[in-house]
Structure 1
Amino acid sequence: MSAAPLEGVIAASITPLAEDLSIDVNRLARHTQRLLDNGCSFVSTFGTTGEGASLSTIEKLDALRSLSAAGADMSRQVPGVMTPTLDDAATMLVGIANAGCRAALVLPPFYYGTSEAGVAGWYDALIERTESATQIDLLLYNIPQMSRIRFTRELVETIVKRHGSRIVGIKDSTGDVQNGVMLAKSFPDLAVFTGDDRVLPTLLASGGAGMIGGMPNVFARDLRRLYDDRTNAEILAKQTERILAVDRHGSLVALKAALATYLGDENYARVLPPLKALDEVGRGKLLESFAKSGFDAAA
């Protein structure tokens, strides 16, 4: 795999959809390239912001193959593995590796809920099932508000002890700055990312690697500036206002609505059921909040 270090601003990309709700690969290719051009070090497709849990393994792997065939730089891709099904997770992981991606961000098994020993055992089984086909780098995905599983220090220690250099990082989407700092200080050999813009400066100061989040879909340039200068209080304040506005209006559906407006292409606003696209009233309030923060889409 590519030796490019996993660090910086990694955009958790939205997934553009066609009218029949299939993945719109052409728009996805343009969007991911736009994110890289605007300062992101990598792009993470098919995670939470990318509606990855609502898309099938076949759909996602077909899209990755199409991106590769279209000439996308797959070495700057860190796709998500978002399934509680071991067989699907293994198929997705091998497909991500075969597409030439830099690494995979792996969500723990959700739905049933389990012990830490059970979660560690699931990663054991995933790695055992795929190790003859790939040695791709893995990042753990800590988003307990969605998965119901929290990566404690003890759980991370167990998985790293068993699998060593295969585990290269963790995305902490708790939004808890102290949790991110704890992970960074406890695991200096791992690339620890936050999913929350507001945590980024403190995490970087504590040895963290950067962020993997949805806000770069719209604000990649500002977030790259914040990464390059963690003391930039003005950008941090603006991003705090923006993330609050996005959260008030449905998170990923808000990001899609903003992109549809700024790119002049309503196809970007389309979402998969059970999500609902942001209505015009909500979009107006969202864009008004962005305008107050001084955002210029053309800048």
Structure 2
Amino acid sequence: MSMQFQGVMPATTTPFAEDGTIDHGFAARHAQWLIEHGATGIIALGSLGEGATLSRDEKLALCKTLVEAGRPTQTPVVAAISALSTEEAAALARGAQQVGCRGLMVLPPYVHKGPWAEIRAHFEAVIEATELPCMLYNNPIAYGTDLLPEQIAELAGAHERVVAVKESSGDLRRVTAVRALLGERLRLFAGLDDMAFEAGSIGADGWVAGLVNALPAESIAVFELARSPSAAHRAQAAAIYHWFLPLLRLDCVPDFVQRIKLVQAEVDMGNERVRAPRAPLSGSERERTLALVREHLGRRPAVPTAAEIRTMIAEVSA
């Protein structure tokens, strides 16, 4: 079954039980909760999902759990594909297809920062490993490899299965640069939480989001209203975004996993457990973050549901 890359797709956190194993029961409930709020897909195994700390067996077992969780609504699961070696990345891609994932988010190789010829060969090996549609992931801040618009166009021109790109350089000009080169050939996604409104306003098709793990209604309202043709809707999105932005910036710091899990715990949708070498926030840093989170949660704005937003936009587009 094919899938569409569009809308708000959570890059989900990986929940851990007290013994350090993956809590599959909670992972399923969390995914279903996100889908109920309007998530258009679930992206697993990314950096927010602590993918680098999971074994291949753990990754595939988690993907299988999420596929089953999304099956009643036919919500697709996308596996983030990252590894130290190209062989391991391709094997993980094949395994993700076997357990029912309907798309891949392809990262550059971990650690190795070689010339474009090597990076391109790595991407191509993963793209060609399955029949699944692929989203390219550009995050030079985290991975040290910058996938330039011209290189994205090169891969898209050579591979029909390249259908989307997640842009996390933080430079909004990259979104317009890819659009200028490829038109509507690729679906363009914001990849950082604190660029969601801006990206939606200039025509991004989707957002791979982080704080959505704790605040799905607000996340979907910001992005979808920002994309509306109505100036009133965009103003409504801007007002929600103004409230949301200090929390969204928790996604853009080195310990973003711990901070987003802390927000999940505060809304009673998760816990703070992370896998070593990470450790939960502690001391004054945790106190400052909690104060920020509680202050903003204490004045959460009323937001329309995903269904209401669809109706609102349909009415002004008619």
Please confirm whether the aligned pair reaches a TM-score higher than 0.5, indicating the same fold: yes
Counterpart-to-counterpart distance in 1, 2:101 and 2:32: 15
Contact map agreement 2:97 2:132 (CA 8 A) in 1: yes
Aligned to 1:177: 172
Distance 1:245 1:96, change over 3 A: closer
Q: For each residue in 1:210-252, what CA deviation from the matched residue of structure 2 results, as whole angstroms up to 9, or x when unmatched?
A: 2102111112111111122111211111222112355568211
Is the counterpart of residue 121 in structure 1 residue 121 in structure 2?
Answer: yes
After alignment, is 66-75 or 139-148 more displaced?
A: 66-75
* Residue identity in the other structure for 2:168: S
After alignment, is 73-82 or 188-197 more displaced?
A: 73-82
* Cα deviation, residue 281, structure 1: 4.2
Is the counterpart of residue 226 in structure 1 residue 222 in structure 2?
Answer: yes
Across the aligned residues of Structure 1 and Structure 2, the Cα RMSD in angstroms comes to 2.4
Distance 1:239 1:56, change over 3 A: same
Counterpart-to-counterpart distance in 2, 1:245 and 1:138: 27
Contact map agreement 2:38 2:220 (CA 8 A) in 1: yes
Unmatched 5+ residue regions in structure 1?
none
* Residue identity in the other structure for 1:259: Q
* Residue identity in the other structure for 2:42: V
* Residue identity in the other structure for 2:47: T
Aligned to 2:263: 258
Contact map agreement 2:135 2:165 (CA 8 A) in 1: yes
Say which of 197, 204, 229 aligns to 1:201: 197
Counterpart-to-counterpart distance in 2, 1:75 and 1:264: 20
Contact map agreement 1:2 1:75 (CA 8 A) in 2: no
Q: For each residue in 1:57-90, what CA deviation from the matched residue of structure 2 results, as whole angstroms up to 9, or x when unmatched?
A: 1111122234445675574211211213222211
After alignment, is 214-223 or 58-67 more displaced?
A: 58-67
Aligned to 1:94: 94
After alignment, is 184-193 or 138-147 more displaced?
A: 184-193
Distance 1:149 1:248, change over 3 A: closer
* Cα deviation, residue 298, structure 1: 11
After alignment, is 238-247 or 94-103 more displaced?
A: 238-247
Contact map agreement 2:139 2:167 (CA 8 A) in 1: yes
Counterpart-to-counterpart distance in 2, 1:234 and 1:297: 11
Is the counterpart of residue 33 in structure 1 residue 32 in structure 2?
Answer: yes
Distance 1:57 1:296, change over 3 A: farther
After alignment, is 196-205 or 152-161 more displaced?
A: 196-205
Contact map agreement 2:104 2:134 (CA 8 A) in 1: yes
Say which of 181, 184, 192 aligns to 1:186: 181
After alignment, is 240-249 or 152-161 more displaced?
A: 240-249
Is the counterpart of residue 211 in structure 1 residue 207 in structure 2?
Answer: yes
* Cα deviation, residue 191, structure 1: 0.9
Helix, strand or coil at the partner of 1:53: helix
Aligned to 2:153: 157
Helix, strand or coil at the partner of 1:126: helix
TM-score, length basis structure 1: 0.88
Is the counterpart of residue 147 in structure 1 residue 143 in structure 2?
Answer: yes
* Residue identity in the other structure for 1:254: R
Contact map agreement 2:107 2:137 (CA 8 A) in 1: yes
Aligned to 2:295: 292
What number of residue pairs does the alignment pair up?
A: 291
Counterpart-to-counterpart distance in 2, 1:28 and 1:186: 38
Counterpart-to-counterpart distance in 1, 2:264 and 2:154: 41
* Residue identity in the other structure for 2:101: C
Q: For each residue in 1:134-170, what CA deviation from the matched residue of structure 2 results, as whole angstroms up to 9, or x when unmatched?
A: 310011111112221111022112211221x200101
Aligned to 1:273: 276
* Residue identity in the other structure for 1:241: P
Distance 1:179 1:151, change over 3 A: same
Distance 1:245 1:55, change over 3 A: closer
Counterpart-to-counterpart distance in 2, 1:234 and 1:215: 17
Counterpart-to-counterpart distance in 2, 1:177 and 1:116: 23
Helix, strand or coil at the partner of 1:263: coil
Is the counterpart of residue 45 in structure 1 residue 48 in structure 2?
Answer: no
* Cα deviation, residue 54, structure 1: 1.5
Q: For each residue in 1:82-141, what CA deviation from the matched residue of structure 2 results, as whole angstroms up to 9, or x when unmatched?
A: 21322221121112212222211011113121111211111223344x2xxx31001111
Aligned to 1:80: 80
Counterpart-to-counterpart distance in 2, 1:124 and 1:70: 30
